[in-house]
Amino acid sequence: MTSIEYTPPVYPVIKFLVARGYALALLLGLIPVAASVWLVSEGWHIAFIAAGTFVGAILWLVFRSYVEVLRIIADTLMPR
């Protein structure tokens, strides 16, 4: 009878997000700000900077909380 060895699953995306999630959250939050600054430089209304900053802050907060939940899951449920 042959024995089958168990190999724990590997989750490279989760490991990547756990390791670099905070930097990605910051970059994701800066995209709307940069886009709104570019739009204002092209002649759009200056209120777009405020809107872009607000949207960027919301994206940063949502993605950062996602990374924190992912870290909790990775610490408690994933094999090391």
Read off the pLDDT of residues 40-71 as tens digits, 9 standing for 90 and up.
999 999 999 999 999 999 999 999 999 999 99
Read off the pLDDT of residues 8-35 as tens digits, 9 standing for 90 and up.
788 899 999 999 999 999 999 999 999 9
Nearest to 79 by CA among 10, 17, 14, 16: 10
> 23-48: buried (b, 16+ CB within 10 Å) or exposed (e) per residue?
ebbeeebeebbeebeebeeeeeeeeb
Q: Which two tokens stand for residue 77?
A: 């449920």
- Specify the pTM: 0.81
| 56 neighbors 32 (Cβ within 8 angstroms) | yes
